[in-house]
Chains A and B, each alone.
Chain A
Amino acid sequence: MENTDNILEIKHLTKVYQDETDTGADPILADLNLKVGRKEFLSVLGPSGCGKTTMLRCIAGFETYNGEILVDGVSAAKPGTDRIMVFQDFNQIFPWQTVEKNIQYPLRLQGIKDKEQLQAVSDEYLKKVNLDGVQKKYPHQLSGGMKQRVAIARALAQKPKIILMDEPFAALDAMTRNRLQVELLNISSQEDCTFIFITHNIQEAIVLGDRIIVMSKKGEIKVDEKNGLKKPITPATPGYGEMWQRFHDALEV
């Protein structure tokens, strides 16, 4: 049975960056079509420069493009709180707000004014990302991994339909990265949220993804497969090696 309940539908997405020279630049993404199911965790692999970030920025509404991007059937051309982006850059949470204010600020924008409720929500999500006792700290007092945790908590607390993650762990050391993968896996199984997760790391894509796609030049989707391995997935899981090799080969060519 195919799951037809799609939360995101990308139809004929074509993106050309209008650069100054205007030499009729080549499209970065050419006629990309993609459907993402509700509550799905989609891992996106692809060689550097193939347009993964560009696709994510189009979904987030930060770019202009040709084609259509629908969230629950409604056009999503402008940024909105139904799609929250988590960037790779550690410095994406606001340095002028404490950790908890960073999480509460978007909620206040959504109209939640009650102090206790705000406090409860920020505490809840900080706990979810295993950050306790840093509520009153400022971002410059945190490590890179802690900042990414806050960014994830800020995204989750806004209760978006889709969280867009662009290599959020790429700049972390291997140990912190593994720990955050495990945490994110737990979170994604609890939250009613769809994840689109870009990574260069095949292991990360397999461990996290319910479904994994490999993009190649111009946003062509070369591989698109459901992850049938039983979670939690480790390199010792039966079938892991073959799967890793498949994606590795797809990325090579």
Chain B
Amino acid sequence: MNKRREEFSDLIVKIVFVAVVLLIWESVARANLFGSRSRLIFPTIGEIGRAFVTNLTIGYAGSSFLIYIANSLKLLIIGLLIGVVLAFVFSGLSMVSRYFYSIYNLVVSVFDLLPGVALLPVVIIIFGVTPGVIVFLVVHAVIWPMSRSVLDGFMAVPRIYVEAGLNMGLSRGRLLFGVYIPAAMSYILSGLKVGWARAWRGLLSAEMIFGLANSLGIGLYINQMRTNLKNAEMYATLIVIVLIGVVVQYGIFAPIEKCTVKKWGMSK
């Protein structure tokens, strides 16, 4: 009961805070504090709201903003899937062979330090100016933190679970799915979260730097709004980026945690 109340007052505080920030924004916007640049830096809330609509209806170059979002998400999901599967395959192999483990450990440590965008020049030479570049960068963003977490998680699996698994007749391969993956679930999920966050940022920066005319994306859209001095539309786009992050956090990760590590009493 008390906890409910706490959560409720917490929520009220947040809402009030947001309202105040919006109020300040709006008064700054109306006061024209920055002279001629004021309309670019601080479009009014009404303008940003209308920009939401024009983003969807008119968009840019004949395509609605939705097309840009869909395209970005498509590349993101392909990259995430490839990255996650590869991370599991390599981490699984590391559990089978000691040599593979030490080599892969080294590879992960090295590549984890390389920002994907820094690889862009090389990647463009390899893939040409194609969406493959973006997918590659997403894979790069997700595979190393994911592998690090999965490896750490596998190493931290209590020996007693492994022995109980062996005892009941699990073969090496089935041990991976029957014991290692569920036992390491909290590590795996935190790896997924870090991987997703990096991939999402990596995707946007790659799209902005290297905006492909033939591959519409959110990053490209922001750039085009900027060059066309449509700053209200740009702000509307930023809000969408945040919203997608929120949806992924609360619509995907939170439910997964709730029906795995939380339910199992394993969350750290």
Contacts and interface: CB of A to CB of B under 8 A. Distances in A.
Interface of A: 60-62, 79-81, 83-85, 87, 89, 91-96, 105-106, 109-110, 138-141, 158
Nearest to A106: B168
A95 B265 contact: yes
A114 B64 CA distance: 53
B160 A96 contact: no
A81 B178 CA distance: 16
Given A106-B168, A109-B174, A138-B265, 14 more contacts: A60-B167, A81-B168, A81-B169, A85-B164, A92-B160, A92-B161, A92-B164, A93-B164, A95-B183, A95-B266, A105-B178, A106-B169, A138-B264, A140-B266
Query: Which 8 pairs, one residue from A and one from B, show the smallest C-beta to C-beta distance?
Result: A140-B265, A106-B168, A96-B182, A79-B166, A96-B264, A95-B264, A79-B167, A81-B169
B183 A84 contact: no
Interface in B175-207: 178-179, 182-183, 185
B255 interface: no
B163 A85 contact: yes
B158 interface: yes
A62 B185 contact: no
A222 B246 CA distance: 68
Interface string B137-176: 0000000000000000000001011011011111000100
A113 to B, nearest CB: 15
Given A94-B182, A96-B264, A109 B160 contact: no
Interface residues of B, number: 21
B244 to A, nearest CB: 30
Interface of B: 158, 160-161, 163-164, 166-170, 174, 178-179, 182-183, 185, 260, 263-266
A96 B167 contact: no
A182 B50 CA distance: 76
B166 A138 contact: no
Nearest to A94: B161
Contacts of A91: 158, 160
Contact of A96 (B158, B166, B168, B266): B266
Contacts of A95: 183, 264-266
A85 B164 CA distance: 8
8 contacts: A62-B163, A80-B169, A85-B163, A89-B160, A92-B161, A92-B164, A96-B264, A105-B168
A83 B164 CA distance: 11
